[in-house]
């Protein structure tokens, strides 16, 4: 860990991204406790500009935008992290089995993966959420369903590269079970690219959730950044801050996640460690 952190902190953009990400996590975790205003309450006069009675102004109904941004951070990060965890688990399992077993198992699983990859991701997510009714669970499930194929192909490629290495052949010669070889021997050696991909997938999941909420397919009981932009798009010329405030929150969060992902790639990639 000490060597990893030494390589990671040599990348100023990665440190900047990590700082912004920590700030967003603190806002999501502590914000609703420190700023107790309910984002759905009519707090004041509609169309109040920022830096007045309300730090970030109010929306068309008089709801506090600062409360919406704080509570929206929790929703966006929760959806991003949970959907990514589900997609990583499913994709890693399918890719590991396909890469290790090969043959007809590999062909079957990869044809299934390619089928899901041929469907446009956002449209597929919209259809799934519309079918199963907008809710936090359906959004997480939809984002996970459109995200796992890329992980499966990545893990499959790593397993194919490691499948015939000496330590794997030695484990097979000793009679170690396939499950132990896959999860205890090969997968830890392929974890680097998976971790990097996971950090980038969180950013994609945040964008997908924002897009779904913008279209009115978010959880109706939860305030989110995409919903805030969608509800204020009709007054963009009169009250630009209603869309700009949650838009900047999405921009900073996605930018931070991508910078952290690039830093992890630089720190975990052995080919880049010599630079």
Q: Which CATH number does the domain housing residue 63 bear?
A: 1.10.3720.10
Q: How many domains does the chain have?
A: 1
φ, ψ dihedrals at 48, nearest 5°: -70, 130
Find the mean pLDDT for residues 147-156.
92
In the predicted structure, residue 185 carries a pLDDT above the cut 90: no
Residue 273 domain-assigned?
no
Say if 135 falls within a structural domain. yes
- How far is the C-alpha of 78 from the C-alpha of 234, rounded, in Å? 28
SS3 call for 46: coil
- Asked if the model's pLDDT at residue 139 lies above 90, the reply is yes
Separation between Cα atoms, residue 198 and residue 261, nearest integer Å: 8
Q: How far is CA 124 from CA 27, 60, 89, in A?
A: 31, 32, 20
Reported as a pLDDT band with limits 50, 70 and 90, residue 178 is confident
pLDDT, position 10: 81
Answer whether 0.85 is exceeded by the pTM: yes
pLDDT cut 90: percent of the chain above it: 36
For tokens 């603190």, the residue is: 26
Q: Give pLDDT, residue 191.
A: 83
156 contacts 95 by C-beta, under 8 angstroms = yes
Q: Which of 92, 74, 209, 77 is CA-nearest to residue 143?
A: 209
274 lies in a domain?
Answer: no
Confidence at residue 1, expressed as pLDDT on a 0 to 100 scale: 65
Question: Where is average pLDDT lowest: 43-47, 109-113, 114-118?
Answer: 43-47
Cβ count near 157 (within 10 Å): 14
pLDDT band at 270; cut points 50, 70, 90 = low
- Taking a C-beta distance cutoff of 8 angstroms, is the pair 94, 83 a contact? no
pLDDT level of residue 43 (50, 70, 90 thresholds): confident
pLDDT of residue 271 exceeding 90: no
pLDDT, residue 28, reads 87
Checking if the pLDDT of 88 tops 90, the result is yes
The overall average pLDDT reported for the chain is 87
Taking 70 as the threshold, does the pLDDT of residue 273 lie above it?
no
pLDDT mean over 206-229 = 90
pLDDT at residue 184, as a whole number: 87
112 or 1, higher pLDDT? 112
74: in domain: yes
What residue numbers bound the domain in which 106 lies? Answer: 2-268
Between the alpha carbon of residue 108 and those of residues 99, 146, 151, the distances in Å are 12, 19, 16
Residue carrying structure tokens 């896959």: 182
- Residue 175: per-residue pLDDT: 83
Q: What's the pLDDT band for 164 if we cut at 50, 70, 90?
A: confident
Residue 275 lies in a domain: no
Residue 186: helix, strand or coil by DSSP? helix
| Per-residue model confidence (pLDDT) at position 37 | 83
Q: How confident is the model at residue 32 (pLDDT cuts 50, 70, 90)?
A: confident
pLDDT at site 250: 93
């Amino acid at each position: 860990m000490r060597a990893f952190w030494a390589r990671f902190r040599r990348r100023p953009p990665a440190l900047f991204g990590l700082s912004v990400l920590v700030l967003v996590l603190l806002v999501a975790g502590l914000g609703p406790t420190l700023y107790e205003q309910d984002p759905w309450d009519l707090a004041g006069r509609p169309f109040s500009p920022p830096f007045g009675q309300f730090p970030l102004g109010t929306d068309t109904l008089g709801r506090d935008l600062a409360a919406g941004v704080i509570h929206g951070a929790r929703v966006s990060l929760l959806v991003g992290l949970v959907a990514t965890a589900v997609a990583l688990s499913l994709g890693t399992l399918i890719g590991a089995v396909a890469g290790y077993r090969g043959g007809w198992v590999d062909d079957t699983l990869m044809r299934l993966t390619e089928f899901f990859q041929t469907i446009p991701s956002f449209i597929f997510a919209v259809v799934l959420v519309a079918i199963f009714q907008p809710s936090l669970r359906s959004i997480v499930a939809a984002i996970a369903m459109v995200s796992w194929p890329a992980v499966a192909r990545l893990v499959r490629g790593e397993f194919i590269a490691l499948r015939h290495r000496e330590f794997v052949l030695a484990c097979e010669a000793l009679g170690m079970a396939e499950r132990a070889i896959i999860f205890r021997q090969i997968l830890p050696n392929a974890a680097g690219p998976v971790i990097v991909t996971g950090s980038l997938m969180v950013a994609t999941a945040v964008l997908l959730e924002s897009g779904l909420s913008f279209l009115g397919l978010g959880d109706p009981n939860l305030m989110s950044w995409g919903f805030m932009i969608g509800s204020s798009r009709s007054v963009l010329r009169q009250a630009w801050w209603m869309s700009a405030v949650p838009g900047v929150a999405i921009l900073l969060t996605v930018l931070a996640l991508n910078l952290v992902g690039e830093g992890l790639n630089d720190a975990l990639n052995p080919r880049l460690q010599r630079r």
